Amino acid sequence: MWPTTFPAARLMLWGLWIAAPFASTFLAPDLSTSQLTQMFQDFMRQFNKTYLSQEEMQYRFKVFVQNLEVSRRLQAEELGTAQYGVTCFSDLTESEFAMMFGIPQPSQLGLPPSLRDSDNSRLGKLTKSCDWRKAGVIPAVKYQGKKCRSCWAFAAVSNIEALWNIHRHVPRNLSVQEVLDCTYNKIGCLGGYVWDGLRTVFNSSGLSSSRLYPYTGRNQTCQKHQKRTVTQIDGYELLPRDENYIARILASQGPVTALLNQARLQNYQKGIIQSPSQSCNPMRLDHAALIVGYDEVKSRRGSWVGPYWIIQNSWGERWGEKGYFRLHRGTNTCGIAMFAATAIVRDSGGKKPVLCRP
C-alpha cells in the first residue's frame, strides 16, 4: 500500500520534475528549481506538513512559489524593517488565507458603538515605551485554528484576561467559545467585532472559564454560563483615532484591541512593518489583534528609526515573532488606529494596579 499522505522526504523523488514547469513563469530569477524544491522540503519539515495526494502536493508547491514572489514584492515595498518570506501559511493562496482568517469589514455586520466623550481620568502620560509582557500580565499566545474566523473573540478575551491581571491581580483563562457562541449565535466563525463581543460580556454579566466552556472552533448555540464562575468587566469603549491617545490608554490601563488590514501578515516573518497606505489600505480592515505595548528604535546611523506597536496575534507561536508582530506607530499603518477598543476593568480591593515599566 502507498501511504495516503506525502511527507517531505517523498518530495525528493519527484521534486525536480514538478518544479520545472513553474521555473520560467513565476520564479525569482536568482532561485534555481532545485533550490526551490529544497526550500519547499524544508518548509514541509519545519511546519510538519503532509498532503493527501501527489496532485495536492504539486499544487501546494506552486502556491508556495507564488508566495515567494509575493514576499519579494512586499519586501521591495517595505519601508520599515519587516522581513517577508516562508511562513507557516506559505502553502495557502491569498484567497484561502482570507477565507480562513479574514473577518468582514466593520460596516458589513453592523457599526461600532459611537464614540463617547473620552474619559480623561483613565489617561496616563505618554511614556517612551511600555511592554506589558515584561510585567507578566499577558496571556500566552493562542491559536485560533484554520476553520473559524475567531480572531475578534480571541482579541476580546485576551484583552479581558490581561486587564484582570493588571487591575484585579487575578489570572484567568476565559472562554473564547462563549464569546463566539453568545455574540453571534451559531455563526460566530463567520467573523465579528471585538466591541460586539465586549458588549455581550458586559451585558450578560461576565464570561466563564475556558476550562468550563472550551474552544471548539465551531459555530455553536450559546450555552450561557450555567452555574459557572464568571469574570465581569465594568464596561468597554472605542478609542479615538489617535495613536498617542491609544498609547496613553495602553500605558495606564493595559492592552487594547485593534482592527487592521492583514494583507502583509501571511508572509510576515519578523521586524517592524511600515508600508505606504496604497499597499496596505487603512480602510480595509479584516483582522483583529491585541496591542500589548509600544517602543521606538532610536537613532542609529544608517538604519531604520521610529516608533512601533507590539501586537499579539492568535495564530500560534510558530507564526511571526513567537506569535507577535510589530507595526510602525504614528501613521495609521494598515489602519491600526481606526477601531481600537478595550474592555474597562476597574481596580478593586484597594490594591494598586500593576504598572507598565518601560
Ligand X SMILES: *[C@@H]1O[C@H](CO)[C@@H](O)[C@H](O)[C@H]1NC(C)=O
List residues with catalytic annotation: 151, 287, 313
User: How far apart, in Å, are the Cα atoms of 228 and each of 69, 175, 209?
Assistant: 50, 11, 8
Q: How far is the CB of 219 from ligand X (least distance, A)?
A: 4
274: cell is 511600515
Q: How far is the CB of 5 from ligand X (least distance, A)?
A: 7
Q: Select 203 or 303, whichever has its Cβ closest to ligand X.
A: 203
125: cell is 502620560
Residues at the contact surface with ligand X, assessed by CB under 6 A: 48, 50, 140, 147-148, 171-173, 187, 189-190, 199, 203, 218-219
Q: How far is the CB of 294 from ligand X (least distance, A)?
A: 26
Q: Select 38 or 173, whichever has its Cβ closest to ligand X.
A: 173
Q: How far is the CB of 256 from ligand X (least distance, A)?
A: 22
Q: Cα–Cα–Cα angle for 164, 212, 291, nearest 5°?
A: 35
Q: Select 220 or 244, whichever has its Cβ closest to ligand X.
A: 220
Residue located via cell numbers 495602553: 250
Q: How far is the CB of 204 from ligand X (least distance, A)?
A: 6
Q: Select 73 or 147, whichever has its Cβ closest to ligand X.
A: 147
Q: Concatenated DSSP letters for 269-287? A: EESEE---GGGS-TT---E
Q: Cα–Cα–Cα angle for 171, 177, 183, nearest 5°?
A: 110
Q: Select 79 or 344, whichever has its Cβ closest to ligand X.
A: 344
H or E segment at 238? strand 235-238
Q: Cα–Cα–Cα angle for 320, 323, 326, nearest 5°?
A: 60
Looking at the DSSP bridge assignments, the partners of residue 315 are 143
Looking at the DSSP bridge assignments, the partners of residue 270 are 83
Q: Concatenated DSSP letters for 316-337? A: -TTSTBTTEEEEESSS-GGGTT
